[in-house]
C-alpha cells in the first residue's frame, strides 16, 4: 500500500472512531436526560389540552422538548403538525444524519426515534408509537417523526374528576342544558363549555353533547380502573441550567472503554471505585480518537525510551 493509501486509511479510521464516539456520547446523554426529566401531570395536561398547533407550541412542555433535544445533541425538535392523538416533529439539520453522511439510501435517525419514544413514555407518561417518516439521508429537506399517542393514556392524564362527572351527567340526561349542568356541577358556564369542547375534540362527546361510543367505553374503563393519584413536583425546566450542566458533563461509553482497556479489564469486571477514576481521566479527552492518539503516542514514546536504554 502507498503512503497516500495508508494516510487515507488512517484518516478514515480516525473519522469512524470519532463518529462512533459522538454517537455513544449522544446515547449516554439521552440516558442522562431521560433520568432527570420527569414531567408532572399538571404540565402534561396543558400540553394535551392544546387543540391547535399554536396552543401546543405555547406550552412550557413544548418549549422544554425543543431545548432538551437540542442539548442532547439530536438537533432542535420542532412540532410541525398536530392531530387529536398525533404529533409530527421535524429536525431541520440532524446531527445524526451528519454522522452517517455516507449512507444516502436509508433513514438513519433511530437514536432520535428512540429518544422521542422514551421521553414521552418514561417522563411524560404517555405510551406512543414513533416512526421516522422523512430523512435528509434519503433526499428529504429535513427529518420528520410521527408520534401516535395511545388514546386512553391521553384521557387518563388530560381528563380529571370534573370531566368524568360531565360524562356521567351526560349519560343520564336526555338533553343537556349548559346552565343547569353548570349549576349542578358548580362550574361557571365558560368553564363547562371549555371542558365540553375538549371532550368533543377527543370525540368522547358529539356536537349535540351526547356521549359517543368511545366516551362510553372510556367511562366504563375509568369506573373499573380509577385514575392514579397525581404527583406534584417541580417540572424539570425549573432547574434547566442544572440539567444542562449534567447533560454536558456526560461521558461517552467509548471514552470510558478506552481507559478500561488500558488495564485489560472488561466493563463488567470493573468495580464502582474504578469507574470514578475512568470518568476523571476521560474528562481531559474530547473524543475517542484523541484518546486513541494519546495512547498510541504514549506507547511509541515508551518503545523509544527502551531502545535508547539498550
> Domain coordinates of the chain in residue numbers?
36-150+231-247, 161-219
pTM for this model (two decimals): 0.76
Altogether, the residues listed in the chain come to a count of 310
Number of Cβ within 10 Å of residue 77's Cβ equals: 23
In whole angstroms, what is the distance from residue 43 CA to residue 49 CA?
A: 10
Angle between helices 110-118 and 3-35 (to 10 degrees): 10
Q: What is the pLDDT along the chain (310 residues), one digit of tens a residue?
A: 444 444 444 456 667 777 788 888 999 999 999 999 999 999 999 999 999 999 999 999 999 999 999 999 999 999 999 999 999 999 999 999 999 888 888 999 999 999 999 999 999 999 999 999 999 999 999 999 999 999 999 999 999 999 999 999 998 887 788 888 999 999 999 999 999 999 999 999 999 899 999 999 999 999 888 888 899 999 999 999 999 999 998 876 555 555 445 444 444 454 555 444 444 544 454 444 554 445 445 555 555 555 555 5
**pLDDT on residue 305:** 59
Q: Retrieve residue 28's grid coordinates.
A: 449516554
Contacts of 289 (CB under 8 A, 6+ apart): 14, 15, 17, 18, 21
CATH number of the domain at 36-150+231-247, please? Answer: 3.30.1380
User: Which pairs with CB-CB distance under 8 Å and at least 24 residues apart come from 79-85?
Assistant: 79/53, 80/53, 80/144, 81/53, 82/50, 82/52, 82/53, 82/56, 84/201, 84/202, 84/203, 85/148, 85/149, 85/150, 85/151, 85/154
In whole angstroms, what is the distance from residue 39 CA to residue 62 CA?
A: 12
**pLDDT on residue 101:** 85
Amino acid at each position: 500500500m502507498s503512503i497516500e493509501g495508508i494516510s487515507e486509511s488512517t484518516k478514515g479510521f480516525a473519522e469512524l472512531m470519532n463518529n462512533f464516539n459522538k454517537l455513544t456520547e449522544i446515547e449516554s446523554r439521552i440516558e442522562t436526560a431521560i433520568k432527570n426529566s420527569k414531567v408532572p401531570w399538571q404540565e402534561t395536561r396543558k400540553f394535551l389540552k392544546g387543540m391547535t398547533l399554536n396552543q401546543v407550541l405555547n406550552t412550557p412542555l413544548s418549549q422544554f422538548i425543543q431545548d432538551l433535544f437540542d442539548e442532547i445533541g439530536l438537533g432542535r425538535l420542532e412540532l410541525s403538525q398536530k392531530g387529536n392523538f398525533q404529533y409530527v416533529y421535524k429536525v431541520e439539520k440532524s446531527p445524526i444524519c451528519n454522522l452517517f453522511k455516507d449512507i444516502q439510501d436509508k433513514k438513519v435517525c433511530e437514536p432520535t426515534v428512540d429518544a422521542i419514544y422514551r421521553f414521552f413514555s418514561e417522563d411524560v407518561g404517555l405510551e406512543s408509537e414513533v416512526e421516522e417518516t422523512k430523512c435528509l439521508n434519503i433526499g428529504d429537506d429535513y427529518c420528520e417523526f410521527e408520534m401516535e399517542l395511545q388514546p386512553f393514556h391521553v384521557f387518563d392524564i388530560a381528563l380529571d374528576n370534573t370531566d368524568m362527572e360531565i360524562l356521567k351527567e351526560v349519560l343520564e340526561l336526555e338533553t343537556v342544558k349548559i346552565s343547569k349542568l353548570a349549576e349542578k356541577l358548580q362550574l361557571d358556564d365558560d368553564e363547562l363549555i371549555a371542558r365540553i369542547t375538549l371532550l368533543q375534540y377527543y370525540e368522547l362527546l358529539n356536537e349535540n353533547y351526547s356521549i359517543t361510543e368511545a366516551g362510553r367505553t372510556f367511562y366504563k374503563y375509568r369506573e373499573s380502573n380509577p385514575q392514579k393519584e397525581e404527583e406534584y413536583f417541580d417540572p424539570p425546566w425549573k432547574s434547566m441550567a442544572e440539567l444542562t450542566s449534567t447533560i454536558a458533563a456526560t461521558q461517552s461509553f467509548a471514552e470510558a472503554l478506552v481507559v478500561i482497556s488500558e488495564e485489560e479489564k472488561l466493563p463488567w469486571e470493573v468495580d464502582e471505585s474504578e469507574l470514578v477514576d475512568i470518568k476523571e481521566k476521560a474528562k481531559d479527552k474530547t473524543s475517542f480518537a484523541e484518546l486513541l492518539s494519546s495512547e498510541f503516542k504514549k506507547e511509541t514514546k515508551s518503545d523509544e525510551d527502551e531502545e535508547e536504554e539498550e
